[in-house]
Amino acid sequence: MGAVSSPCLVTNPVDELYDYDELRRRGDATMFVLRVGSTTLVLGGNQSRDILDDEAVSSMQLRRRRGGGGLVVLQPGDLWIDWWVPAHDPRWRPDVRVSSINAGHWWRQVLTGRISDVPVVHEGGLEGDHVLRVVCFTGRGPGEVFVGDRKAVGLTQWRVREGVFISTVLHAQPSQIALSVLREPPDGLEGALAHHTVSSLGIVEPQSLVDDLAVVSGPWVLRAL
């Protein structure tokens, strides 16, 4: 994952994004702030790497995350924030949708006042063309944050008996590179990837947003990876 190094991250470029066994042993509620030094492709838990063009991705880092959703293109400057909520933590919820919606409202709270428009949390079910969902940010899922008709924060989660792991990202750059790395990009994908970015939202101090996110959602053990 570029220059990132941590015992909680897997270093093999074709391996999982995290050491998920280590995560399951964590008793502390933890907020992870991830940074990448170069373009990194993260496959969804059920996706095959066969969807990727081997030549196009040969110079990129490749990871896999657990949980649902499609391919995520991580680039330098992205705000990738994950939370591990142990089952004994008061923020843990048995309802999958409620867990996601709660995380979406953490993001909505810190975005409100920082941007000119009103951020809205999607509280309905999964929406969007399943063919286009080969890449994240092309549909609507519970807890995801929208500004106008464009997605600002994407969200997935992975649940086990020990707790829930919630992954979120606000991109710093467009995700159009996904069109060049997929072996067979579906029709309509380019338009579906027109999401917001840090700059399109007018966020001038991303780190202060992350700091406030830790406060409004906390308390957490903070890990910068």
Residue-wise pLDDT tens digits, 86-142: 999 999 999 999 999 999 999 999 999 999 999 999 999 989 898 999 998 898 999
Q: What is the mean pLDDT of the chain?
A: 92
Give the confidence band of 85 by pLDDT, cuts at 50, 70, 90.
very high
- Please count the residues of the chain: 225
Please give the average per-residue pLDDT across 52-60, as a whole number. Answer: 93
pLDDT at 8: 54
Per-residue pLDDT, 14: 52
First to last CA, the chain: 10
pLDDT value, residue 42: 95
pLDDT at 67: 84
Instruction: Pick one of 1.10.260.30, 3.30.930.10, 3.30.465.10, 2.60.40.1180 as the CATH number of 20-224.
Output: 3.30.930.10
Q: How confident is the model at residue 207 (pLDDT cuts 50, 70, 90)?
A: very high
> Does the structure show a pLDDT above 60 at 217?
yes
| pLDDT at 168 exceeding the cut of 60 | yes
User: How far apart are alpha carbons 99 and 91 in whole angstroms?
Assistant: 8
Q: What is the mean pLDDT of residues 196-202?
A: 97
Which is it for the CA torsion 183, 187, 190, 193, positive or negative? negative
| pLDDT value at residue 142 | 96
User: Residue 51 has what DSSP assignment?
Assistant: G
State residue 114's pLDDT score.
95
Domain boundaries, the chain: 20-224
3-state per-residue secondary structure call for 132-160: HHHECCCCECCCCEEECCEEEEEEEEEEE
- What percent of the chain is predicted at pLDDT more than 70? 94
> How many Cα atoms sit within 13 Å of 29 on the Cβ side?
12
Residue 5 above 90 pLDDT? no
The model's pLDDT over 148-160, given as tens digits with 9 standing for 90+, comes to 999 999 999 999 9
Does the pLDDT at position 10 exceed 80? no
Using the predicted structure, report yes or no on whether residue 11 has a pLDDT greater than 60: no
pLDDT confidence band for 46 (50 / 70 / 90): confident
Residue 218 carries which side chain, given as an amino acid letter? G
Across the range 20-27, mean pLDDT stands at: 95
Average pLDDT over residues 61-89: 94
